[in-house]
Structures are given as C-alpha cells and as structure tokens.
Structure 1
Amino acid sequence: MIPRILTKDLRHSLDHFPVTAILGPRQCGKSTLAKHMISELDREAVYLDLERPSDLQKLEDAEWFLSRQKGKLVCIDEIQREPELFPVLRSIVDAHEHNGQFLILGSASRDLIKQSSESLAGRIIYKKLTPFLWDEIHTETTLEEYMVKGGFPRSVMVGEKVSMEWRESFITTFLERDLLQFAGFSPVSMRRLWQMLAHSNGQTANYSALGSSLGISHTSVKKYIDLLEGTFMVRQLRPYKGNTKKRLVKSPKVYITDSGLTTALLKLRSFEEAAGHPAFGSLWESMVIENIAGHYPKLELSFYRTNHGNEIDLVISDGTSMIAIECKSTLSPNLSRGNYTAIEDIDPVKTLVVIPAEKGYPYKENIDVVTLSELIKIIPELLKI
C-alpha cells in the first residue's frame, strides 16, 4: 500500500460528517484506499461494490439492509450506478444521528451526482482522489516514467509494454462500457474527439473546428468535453477573470488529466518518443497542473492570455493573493517578452518557472525556477494557506 496524501483528510471527514464521498476516475485507487482505511478502523465495517451482483442483491431492500448496519461504517463503491440510494442514505443518516456512517465512492464528479445527492445537503463532504501524485510515487519510479505512464496505479507500477497495454485497454473499456450510463453520445465520435484533444492538449478549445472534423455540432462537442471533464478524463482550465483592462482570451484550455492516457492516445511508447513529440511541453504542463490541483483542491486555477499573445500558463489564487506559474519542459528555461508583460499585468506575489530538474534556483527578481516537488512545498508558504 503506497500511502496517499488524502488519507489524513479522509479520516478527519469520517470523524466530522455522517457521509464522506471519495470521487475520482476509475482505477485511480479509491477502492484500495477505502479498504485500507476500513482495515485500520476500531469498529466494524461493511463494503459493498455496486458492480457486483451479489452486493446489488443485498440492496434490493436497501432501507432494511442499511438500517441494520447501525454503528458500522458502510462503504458503497460505484455509487453513481444507483442514484436512487441517496434518499435512503439521508433517512438512515437522520435516524442514526452520528458521524462516520457512510463512505461512498464514485467515478462521476460532484456536478454529475449533485442532483441525486441533493437530499444529503449538510450531511456529506466530497473529497477527490487523483491518480498518483508525484510526491506519492517519486520513490517508486522516475519522473520520465511518470510522465509517459501517468499516475494510474496499474500503469505506473509495471513495465513499459504492460503499461501501454493497460492504458489502451482502459481507454477502450471507458468508451465502450463506462460511458454507457450517460446517454447522448457516440463511442466512435468520443474516441476520435479524445485523440484530437491529445494532439491539441493544453490548447484553447475551438468547438466549431472540432465539430467540423467530427461531423457533429459544436454544441455536441461541448457536451462531450463536459462529460469527459465530469468523469475526470479532461480538465477545462478557465481563463483568468481578475481586474485587467486587457482583452483576454475567453475560451478554456483543455487538458487530458493523465499524461499516460495522452501518450497512449498518441501512441508514444517511451520517454524518447514523447520527448521528440510536439505534445511534450503540454504533457509536462498538464502534470504540473494536476499535481497542484491534487494537493490544493480549494485553490482557484486559471490561465492568463491576452488577444495579443501575452500569457502565463497558470495563475493560482486563494481569493486574495496570486502566484504565476510557467511550465517549461527544459533544464534551461527562458521567459518570453509576452510572459514578462503578463506578469506585469497580473502582479503576482511570486512567479515560479517549473522545470523537470532535481533542484531549482533563483532566476530574476521575484522569479524562481523550481522543481515539481519544490513547487508543491512553496505554494502554501507564498499563499499563507
């Protein structure tokens, strides 16, 4: 069991809320983490997997079965498959009146299950588990392997060939089985869209161009991308909305959240192949963004780009202060004139240039070059969080 950073936060949530939800993509380790936490409890627990027919049968009379588990922690995996359970959970939570009653796991985002779980308002807290973050896995692999294989446990912990086979199988299973619960999409069009997003990883979304290439409307493209975001497969990074008189780009940038899925979609089987591909810089950029989001989910993430091309890859804010982050997939980074103009526009407390190195260094006044691990450590110091 590789320790997960979210564990401490989850224990706190179980102590202070009746229902704790762990949300995240399939195969990212939610079930493993939940079972590990259950094994360390000083009380009884019941684990139900809604993809297992025998467990589904136990919930044919869900109210009767769950009401008999008083005093136990009931863990329900793949909760999005049975949304009608949420009103039942509410009635049992209110009847038993204590914290730590349910631990629910889901592969759909809070937005996708929000309607179903509205009855649990005030009783539930949501936590997101990502594939492995770099600080969780850095003693088990190299940064180069992490970039190519991504962070899914069954991808990063095996050899190069098996890892690629697993990721290709994951993509196919996701498209042909997991998305069947969501109506209104074509698996063939979704695969083609996903491949197109891999080639344009980190670029601003052009729904009309994507729709023309796929032979579908731009509104359908947006719905497809929203669905991929809702199942944790992509991130739509919104443009900066702070006070500025400059004309800013309004479309979001779209990233595939796991670099290993990007390399699989691009058929890049090794670091050498990835390093020579035009998408290499965006792989590094997406890794940095996902690691920041995984460590600090409450921070606001955006990008800054004017219509004249002045830009910063990432702006992170706690609501009052900001840090500007530029991602450079080279050991000898240089900032452009457009970068410096953007930094002047947003006036961050610090600008950090993140590179795939072993140690960072001061770059210029109020600008430091840092590694990914150094970045994660310095963020709370700069934002006082």
Structure 2
Amino acid sequence: MFERLALPKIIEQLQWSPAVGILGPRQVGKTTLAKAVAADPATSMYLDLDTPQALARLANPGAFFAANRQRLVVLDEIQNQPHILSELRGEIDEDRRPGRFLLLGSASFKLLKQSQSLAGRLSLVDMSPLVVSEVYQNFEGIQTLWLRGGFPNSYQAKTTNASWDWRVALIRHFLNTDMPALGINVEPQLMHRFWRMVAHLHGQMFNASAVAASLGIAATTTGRYLDHLCDTLMVRRLEPYFINRGKRLVKSPKVYVRDSGLLHSLLGLKDVNDLLGHPSTGASWEGFVVEQIANHLPAGASMSFYRTAAGAELDVVVELGSRKLGFEVKFSSAPKVTKGFWQACEDVGVDAAYIVAPVQMGWPVQGNVEVIGVTDIPQRLARLVSH
C-alpha cells in the first residue's frame, strides 16, 4: 500500500465536511483508498454504484440514508447515478454532521455540479496517479515512474511489456467505454487521433485552429475535445500568468498529458531507450515535473506559466497570496538557463526560483535561485506557507 498524498486530506476534510468527493481517473486507486478509510463495517459501508446489489439497496435512497446516519457511506462511481445527488442534498440538510458521505468519481466533479445540488455541502480532494514522494526509494526508481507513469498497475507491472500492455488497454477502454458512460459522444478513433496530437503538443501552446486543420474538423470541435480530456482528468491545461506591465504576453494555454506513462504510450515510446532517444524527451520530463508541482501545491496556491513575445519564460509560476515561486525545468545533469529565465524572474517578481533537473543533489546558482531535483519540490513549495 502506497502512502497516498490524498489520504490525510480526506481524513481531515471528513472531520468538518458532511460530504467529501475524491476526484481522479479510473484505475488510479480511489477505491482502494476509500476502502482503507471505511475499513470498519461497524462505522462505515462501501457501495459500488455500478453493481445491481448497491442499486437495489438504494431503491429508496432517502430511507436508506436516514437509516444509516451513524455510518460513513462510501458511494463509488457516483457520476453514473446523478439522481442520487438530490437525495444527498436533502439528507445532508436533515442531519448536517461531518463525515457522512465519501463520494468517488472517475471524472471531474463538473459533471456532478450540473445541478449544483451539493453546493456548499461537498469538499473535494484530487487524487492523481502516483508521484515521486509516494513511491521514492532510490534515484533510479524515478526513471521507472517517469517511463511507466503513476497508475499503480502500470508502475508495479512485473515487466516493461506488461506495463505497456496495461496502458494500451486502459486507453482503449477509456475511449470506447468510459467516455460514452460519462455522456461524451465522440467517435473513439477520432478522439484517439486528437489525444495523440495533444501528446505531440505536450508542453506546448494549444492552437485549436492548427489542430483542427490537421484533423479536418472545426476549431470549436477541437476546443470541446480538449475540454473532454481535461474534464476526465487525462490532460492538464496550464493557463498563462498575467501581469500588467505593458509586456506582450502569450495568451494561449499550454497542454500536458497528465500521466507520463500514458504520454509515452500515445507517442509509441515503450522502453527507456525509446524515451531517451526521442525529440519529446525534454517535454516529457517537463510534464512529469509539472505534475509533481501540481500535486504538492499548498492549499489556496495557484499554478500558471509565464512567457512573453520577447522570450522571457518560466515553465511554472506558483502563487500564494503575495508570495511567488518560479520553476524552470531542464532535462540535463548540468542545466543552464537563458537570459529569458532571468528576465521572467524579474518580471514576475519571484521570491525564489528553482531549476528542476534529473539530479540527486542540487546546488545554489546565485541569490535566490538554485538547482534542485524532483524530490526537493515538496519542501520548496512548503516554504510558501512557512514564510
């Protein structure tokens, strides 16, 4: 069992919120984590809403919830039964104690918020594929996580081929089964082509018109397809950081396939030699680091990137209140930054900046700038809170 980052967040939020939702793609480990939280049958129960047995027990959800008010009720695959949400609202209003419901969904809770039925009653916890801090044992292990990605079945597979086969099957199941089940009516082969195109644009600006021309569809359609992949938590859209200093700023978002293993499957990169010899190596490493940052953001912090037409650039800007940190990602054991990095640090006014590279031990560069490894990211982000 991995020490999942989401676990303490879930336990904390159950202490004050009547309903907590765990967001994450399918097969990321939500059910395993929820069953660990609800391990005592005397005080909790688990219902998989994809099974006839669970649906039978919820034939009269109001009565069922009222009869189990002293237990934590875990509802898995809640997005497939949206009518239950209105019942939850009434039940929570009747007995608004913390820790009553734990909801699991394989897609963005945007799908659950359509009725706004749980507004003010539901707190959310994001659960991503595994990140370095959850599995780190040695420096070489980081490469395995980067290559295979963080889905537990892929990361723990006995062989590289087994990991590859599992990810290929996941992609196929997602396109042919999961998306239709979520009410997303897109032709699977076309969505697969689009997703592969996003993989080739990984870490770059998303130009809807250019992608549309390549696929032979409307630009509005590509925007909708991107929304679908973001809503199902497969792709991250990173928005630009804006400052009002008369700079000509890039306004398009950057896109990343969230899981590096899925990225490599979409790009056809099966083993380490494929990965290290590919033109997308640097972009893949950047996305891997972006996910480490995203999963260790302090509460209330925001994440963006900064780029100007003149070439000033920071891969990631993290902001919390008046404090700002900059991150530049380099796939090099002896990373060097350009003039644009220093200009971006000045433009944004960062309190500190970090060059994240595949190194075991970092070193200071000058002033408030240092080279760090991926294992250092959580501690550096924690400084936003401690200062």
* TM bucket normalised to smaller: over 0.9
1:135 aligns with 2:118: no
For 1:119, the equivalent position in structure 2 comes to 117
In the alignment, the residues of structure 2 paired with residue 149 and residue 112 of structure 1 have an alpha-carbon distance, to the nearest angstrom, of: 29
Deviation at 1:285, TM superposition (A): 1.1
CA distance in 2, matches of 1:228, 1:284: 21
The match for 1:151 is 150
Partner of 1:112, secondary structure, is: coil
Equivalent pair of 2:292/2:377 in contact (CA under 8 Å)? no
Deviation at 1:107, TM superposition (A): 1.3
Q: Which residue of 2 aligns with 1:263?
A: 264
Q: Does 1:4 align with 2:4?
A: yes
Displacement after TM superposition at 1:306 (Å): 0.8
Q: Aligned to 1:375, what secondary structure does the other structure show?
A: helix
Show the 5 A alignment for 1:77-226.
77-116=76-115, 118-139=116-137, 142-158=141-157, 159-180=159-180, 181-226=182-227
Q: State which of 317, 328, 331 in structure 2 corresponds to 1:315.
A: 317
Could you tell me whether the CA contact under 8 Å between 1:143 and 1:356 is conserved in 2?
no
Q: Deviation per CA, 1:213-265, whole angstroms, max 9, x where unpaired?
A: 11111111001101100110001100111233211111000000000000011
Deviations 1:50-109 (A, max 9, x none): 122222222222222222212011100011111111110111112233211110001121
Structure 2: distance between partners of 1:233 and 1:52: 25
Letter in 2 for 1:86: L
Structure 2 counterpart of 1:369, from 365, 368, 371: 371
TM value normalised by structure 1? 0.96
Contact 1:62 1:85 in 2 (8 A): yes
The residue aligned with 2:357 is 355
Q: What RMSD in Å do the two structures reach over aligned CA positions?
A: 1.6
Q: Which amino acid aligns with 1:165?
A: D
Partners of 2:326 and 2:113 lie apart in 1 by: 32
Q: How far apart in 2 are the matches of 1:383 and 1:274?
A: 36
Between the aligned partners of 1:251 and 1:5, the Cα distance in structure 2 is 31
> Using the alignment, how far apart are the partners of 2:267 and 2:243 within structure 1?
35
Secondary structure of 2:110's counterpart equals helix
Retained in 1: the 8 A contact 2:296–2:381?
no
CA contact (8 A) 1:311 1:339 kept: yes
SS at match of 1:189: helix
Taking every aligned residue pair, what percent have the same amino acid on both sides?
38
Q: Which moved more, 1:104-113 or 1:330-339?
A: 104-113
Give the partner amino acid of 1:48.
L
Q: Which residue of 2 aligns with 1:339?
A: 341
Give the conservation status (yes or no) of the 8 Å contact 1:293–1:299: no
Structure 1 residue 319: Cα displacement = 2.9
Q: State the TM-score, normalizing by the size of structure 2.
A: 0.95
Once the two structures are superposed, the pairs formed by residues 64-83 of structure 1 within 5 Å of their partners are 64-83=63-82
Residue of 377, 380, 383 corresponding to 1:378: 380
Instruction: List alignment gaps of at least 5 residues for structure 1.
Output: none
Letter in 1 for 2:279: P
Q: Is the 8 A contact 2:282 2:330 kept in 1?
A: yes
Cα separation, 1, equivalents of 2:208 and 2:183 = 21
Aligned to 1:274: 275
Q: 1:7 to 1:23 in 2, by over 3 A?
A: same
Instruction: Provide the secondary structure at the position in 1 that maps to 2:318.
Output: strand
Q: Deviations over 1:9-58 (max 9, x none)?
A: 2111111111111111111110000001111x584211111122222222
Hey, what's the Cα distance between the residues in 2 that align with 1:70 and 1:174?
Answer: 35
Q: What CA distance in whole angstroms lies between the structure 1 residues aligned with 2:63 and 2:152?
A: 36
Shifted more, 88-97 versus 256-265: the winner is 88-97
Aligned-residue offset at 1:383: 5.0
Q: 2:232 matched to which residue of 1?
A: 231
Find the counterpart in structure 2 of residue 49 from structure 1: 48
CA distance in 1, matches of 2:41, 2:55: 26
* Per-residue Cα deviation, 1:93-131 (whole angstroms, up to 9, x for no partner): 122332111100011213232223x22222211111111
- The equivalent of 2:292 in structure 1 is 291
Is the contact made by 2:184 and 2:228 (CA closer than 8 Å) also made in structure 1? no
Runs of 4+ in 1 over 4 A off after TM superposition: none
Does 2:32 correspond to 1:24?
no
Between the aligned partners of 1:276 and 1:71, the Cα distance in structure 2 is 57
